[in-house]
Amino acid sequence: MKITSKSQRQFKIQSVLFYLFMLALVILLAQFSLKTNIQLDWTANHRHSLSNTTKDFLKQLDKPVTIQAFISPNSEFKPVLTTLLNRYQSLSTQLNIDYIDPDFSPELVRELNIQQQGEMVITLGEQQQRVHDLSEQSLTNALISVSREQDKWIIFIEGHGERRPDHQANFNLSTWAETLKQKGFKLRSLNLVQHQQIPRNTAVVVIASPEKPWLAGEVDIIKNYLSAGGNLLWLAEPSNQPPLLALSEYLGIQFVPGVITDPNTELLGIADPQFTLITDYANHPIAQATSSVTLFPKAAAIEAINPDATWQYQALLTTPENVWSDSQTNLKAEFELGLDTAGPLDLAYLITRVIGSDTDEVQQRIAVVGDGDFLSNSFIGNAANLELGLAMMNWLAKDDKLINIPVKTTIDNQLELNKMTSLLIGLGFLIVVPALLLLIGITLWWVRRRQ
3-class DSSP assignment, residue 79: helix
Percent of the chain at pLDDT above 90? Answer: 37
- Could you tell me where the beta strands, DSSP code E, fall in 253-345? 253-255, 259-261, 275-278, 280-281, 294-297, 302-304, 312-318, 324-326, 341-342
Does residue 228 surpass a pLDDT of 80? yes
CA distance 438 to 444: 10
What does each C-alpha distance from 287 to 291, 363, 375, 388, 395 come to in angstroms?
8, 19, 16, 7, 11
| Domains of the chain, residue spans | 52-145, 152-396
Sequence-separated (6 or more) residues with CB below 8 Å from residue 327: 257, 258, 339, 340, 341
What letter does residue 74 receive in the DSSP assignment?
T
CB 261 within 8 A of CB 255: no
* This model's pTM is above 0.85: no
CB 318 within 8 A of CB 278: yes
CA distance 169 to 78: 40
Mean pLDDT throughout 181-185?
82
Give the burial string for 171-184 (b: 16+ CB within 10 Å, else e).
bbbbbbbebbebbb
Mean pLDDT throughout 365-386?
93
**Chain segment 273-294, per-residue pLDDT in tens:** 889 999 889 999 898 888 889 9
pLDDT at 333: 64
Does residue 266 surpass a pLDDT of 90? no
Most confident by average pLDDT, 27-36, 179-188, 221-230 = 221-230
- Could you tell me where the beta strands, DSSP code E, fall in 60-132? 65-70, 95-100, 119-124, 127-131
What number does CATH give the domain 152-396?
3.40.50.880
What number does CATH give the domain 52-145?
3.40.30.10
CB 419 within 8 A of CB 215: no
